Amino acid sequence: MRRVRAHGKATLFGEHAVVYGHPGLALGIGGAVVARSVVPTAGRIRVSVPRLGIEADQDSPGLVGEALRRLATLLPGDRGCEVEADVSIPLGAGLGSSAAFAVLMVRAMAEVRGMAAEDARVRAVAHEVEKVFHSYPSGLDDTVATFGGLCLFRKVPWADGDVPVGVPVRPLAPDALRVALPVPPIVVGDSGVRRSTADMVAKVAGQRASDPARVDALFATMTACLWRGLDALARADHARLGEAMNACQEALAALSLSCPEADRLIALARGAGALGAKVTGAGGGGCVIALAPGREEDVREALLRDGFDAFVAGTDGVMRGRGG
């Protein structure tokens, strides 16, 4: 069996703004969702995550069952599969678990139906499956879940000259670029608060309907943070990258996308030496990310001491303690 896996994502900049055509920058969390086995079946599609007690098939009620039914119609062929998976990121917490699930299942189904599973196709099908969970996903999550690494995504295709000179990029798709810069491992703290992405997107849409100038100005601030952060990454200036993350957090908070638990995580992370910390993904709860190069364990331990779940994540995967 080929390795069937998908990345989680930590959005550094641009969540929500990306829905309105602004750029988003996100880091793939390596191997966040991994298939332990993929067994072909006559037609049934089933997924289980034994560690989390999750089991579903096409007949299951709820969104996972609906996603599997949608998947069956999107790929030609009759065969199904039973996938046993493991997941190393929290679910529904802003780290792209539903997109990673969609990418994993598309890759597994392509395998059993004997289809080419080039990344562009996997992403396109996963995007359709994602709609079951989020109605109108921007495409950022399925892009990162498919390609991994550091991805710069925008709904509008990129043109020459859009990305500042000095930021090394290569095209993954017309709307997605790989940024060839190393990102230090990121500390992730889980607020424990769960909100639906669709609800948070609707909340921002409501604010924009009543005060478009204010919300668009905040999106413009977030985009300026993204470009400042990318420039800082290109110069390996982590202090400036952290400042850009903090400024982005202010814009997210002004959109009511933070919450007391996330604010507490951010204060703890900064107090333990993080250069920058912010909500990541849909917000309103979910996870916070912190940049603390060389002090990741200090920050992680500060969050754990306060009773939050916390881990270190990067392109290599999730680490839950010193050395792994």
Give me the residues that bind ligand MEV (CB under 6 A), please: 15-16, 18-19, 96, 134, 137-138, 140-141, 197, 201, 281-282
Neighbours of 186 (CB within 10 A): 25
Please state the closest distance from residue 154 (CB atom) to ligand MEV, in A.
11
Closer CB to ligand MEV, 134 or 228, in the complex: 134
Closer CB to ligand MEV, 117 or 204, in the complex: 204
Please state the closest distance from residue 145 (CB atom) to ligand MEV, in A.
10
Please state the closest distance from residue 31 (CB atom) to ligand MEV, in A.
19
Closer CB to ligand MEV, 140 or 312, in the complex: 140
Please state the closest distance from residue 180 (CB atom) to ligand MEV, in A.
23
What are the tokens at 236?
């390996």
Closer CB to ligand MEV, 87 or 275, in the complex: 87
Q: Is 141 a catalytic residue?
A: yes
Closer CB to ligand MEV, 25 or 272, in the complex: 25
Catalytic residue among 57, 59, 119, 141, which? 141
Please state the closest distance from residue 201 (CB atom) to ligand MEV, in A.
5
144, 6 contact by CB (below 8 A): no
Active site residue ranges: 141
